[in-house]
């Protein structure tokens, strides 16, 4: 699987969490990826599932920016796993959030 396809799926798994917590806050908050890193540990073939478990971290950052108006940054990690449960890639995205 081409690395760009993996990057898009990984970014979506983190971005969906960011959007979900922004919507939950009911505040106007902007979001943007500032940086990213990736590592590939096995050839990605077949169905790859990306998961991010950093919801608590982005939730806190959004609450902080809503409360203070100051921008916040959070690194979020998404792992791509094949159908055998083997990690094929790990992506890290630095998300910035700021109250509009």
pLDDT at 1 over 80: no
**Structure confidence at residue 3 (pLDDT):** 87
CATH topology of domain 3-99: Thiol Ester Dehydrase; Chain A (3.10.129)
If you average pLDDT over residues 13-32, what whole number do you get? 97
- Maximum distance among all Cα pairs of the chain, rounded to whole angstroms: 45
Cα 65 to Cα 61: distance, rounded to the nearest angstrom: 6
If you average pLDDT over residues 41-57, what whole number do you get? 96
Instruction: Kindly report the backbone phi and psi dihedral angles of residue 76, in degrees, each rounded to the nearest multiple of 5, phi listed first.
Output: -125, 140
CA-to-CA separations, 88 to 12, 35, 42, 65, in angstroms, rounded? 17, 21, 5, 34
Name the token pair of 66: 């809503």
> What residue ranges in 1-100 does DSSP mark as E strands?
29-40, 49-52, 72-81, 87-99
- For the chain, the domains span 3-99
pLDDT at 6 over 80: yes
């Amino acid at each position: 699987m081409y690395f760009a396809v993996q990057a898009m799926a990984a970014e979506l798994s983190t971005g969906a969490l960011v959007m979900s917590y922004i919507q939950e806050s009911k505040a106007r908050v902007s979001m943007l990826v500032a940086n990213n890193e990736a590592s590939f540990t096995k050839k990605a073939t077949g169905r790859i599932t990306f998961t991010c478990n950093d919801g608590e971290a982005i939730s806190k950052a959004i609450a902080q920016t809503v409360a203070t108006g100051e921008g916040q940054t959070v690194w979020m990690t998404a792992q791509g796993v094949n159908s055998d449960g083997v990690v094929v890639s790990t992506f890290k995205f630095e998300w910035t959030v700021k109250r509009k």
